[in-house]
Amino acid sequence: MVARLRFAPSPTGPVHVGNVHTAVFCWALSRALKGDFIIRLDDTDAERNTPEATQLMFDALTWLGLDWDEGPDLGGEFEPYVQSQRWPFHQNVIQKLVDEGHAYYGDDPDQPASASGNPLRLKMPRTGETILHDAIRGEIRFDNGRLQDPVIVRSNGDPLYHLATVTDDHDMGITHVVRGEDWISSTPIHIQLYKAMDWPEPVWVHLPLILNRQGQKLKKRDPEGGYLMSDFQAAGYLPAALFNYLLLLGWTPDNGQEIVDKWEVRQQFRLERLSPSPSTFDWDKLNWMNRQYMQRHSDEKLAELIRPFLEDVYDELPMQDEWLVRLTAVIRDELSKLEDAVEAAEWAFADNFALAEEAQAALQSESAHPVLARLVAELAHVVLLDEATAQSILQGLRQNFKESHGWNPPAIFHPIRAALTGQTGGPPLAEIMAILGKNRTLQRIANALRL
């Protein structure tokens, strides 16, 4: 039997990373089992569903690099792949449940009401246990005496999620149901629907929750913010890095490695390597992982990726490709995500920058004026200020002022760095001067000398 797994989101708003985490695990397990990955829209919440939310979901999955075999966009053997369009299938199940005494209209199973204007309830067993065999957690038992008869069809005739999703999963041949652990409490209803219809149950896989820093379940409108897929894209996280990180929230690769590609996932992903324990979303770990993926890119490719972030903020200078590539090579080690380029490269764009407190102190030091004045004199003889020329000038300043005044390197270089960037730390000075060029370097030194 071919394994068939589905990701069945409800298109009701912005795409949340918790939903995408489920999609990633569905995809990974389907590919590891050499099975099919299906997208189905479970749009039973008619009042909140929007076409825009549907498109956002597809865009997010595509951006993350997931592919699927069947879905609303691709079609397939089990069309339609939109739950609201599958009403005839649901109606057949409703009729059978009523005919065979597994469901009743109204609120009293001993005095069933008419179908008109009344909800349909599933008749749950009153004795014994309903047993959920979960692939991650093992056996979970529910006392049937504590279970209520749930509504499975509204009084207006619309099927609720419980009935619709079980029917669609069976009709589409879904073999593994992968979803969050918050669905465990509803699973007895689904198991009893399978039993009532005499259908084989799928393999149940309830993924652990993802928690925020406060130990709370992530929500679409999480008070911490930043957990929507649009937030990750706007911050400049690479899709491969986010995909990799989400996999580690509940799965451990065989050899404990943390950087895994899709091929390795296909080879290694197994149910027995999944953890039932909740995972805390670790932003430091994600930033570390994103750095690893950014470092794999050439200067040229990384420059292409950070360009839109810089263009959104800075428009003072034209960003020729060659100049931006050189700038990227200088700042790349400071980046955890693409948006960090805006701050890391501020010195390269903004001539009127604020001075950090330590930079102000450097420019008020005893060495500041003599060093900056000498640098101006040295630059006057330069035609093209490249990195090698800048390095030669700086080495000369260091040697001369050490011999003449006994000043150490910070006393010499901190005023220069403060004048050029407003900071006393950062990329190598020679690289900064080469990026700025002769004229802008001289202009910034002149501004500092006037302070």
Say how many C-beta atoms besides its own lie within 10 A of residue 93's C-beta.
24
CB–CB of 184/110 below 8 Å? no
Return all residues near 280 (Cβ < 8 A) that are at least 6 apart.
210, 211, 212, 213, 215
Residue type, 184: I
Which position has the token pair 């390197």? 409
Q: How far apart are CA 414 and CA 294, in angstroms?
A: 30
Pairing of strands 129-134, 36-39: unpaired
Rg (CA), the chain: 31
Which of 436, 403, 409, 411 has its CA nearest to residue 421? 436
**201 CB-side CA count, 13 A:** 19
320 to 291, 324, 327, 437: CA distances (angstroms): 25, 6, 11, 14
Residue 64 sits at φ, ψ, to 5 deg, of: -75, -10
96 is an active site residue: no
Q: How far apart are CA 21 and CA 251, in angstroms?
A: 11
Which of 291, 210, 205 has its CA nearest to residue 248? 210
Q: Identify the three-state secondary structure at position 435.
A: helix
Catalytic residue among 217, 220, 262, 285: 220
Which of 5, 126, 127 has its CA nearest to residue 71? 5
344 to 4, 136, 442: CA distances (angstroms): 46, 44, 21
Tokens of 330: 């200088």
Cis amide prior to 80 (ω within 30 degrees): yes
Return all residues near 306 (Cβ < 8 A) that are at least 6 apart.
236, 328, 335, 338, 341
* Alpha-helix runs per DSSP H in 174-275: 187-197, 229-235, 239-247, 262-268
Pairing of strands 129-134, 120-122: unpaired
Q: How far apart are CA 168 and CA 197, in angstroms?
A: 13
Active site residues: 220
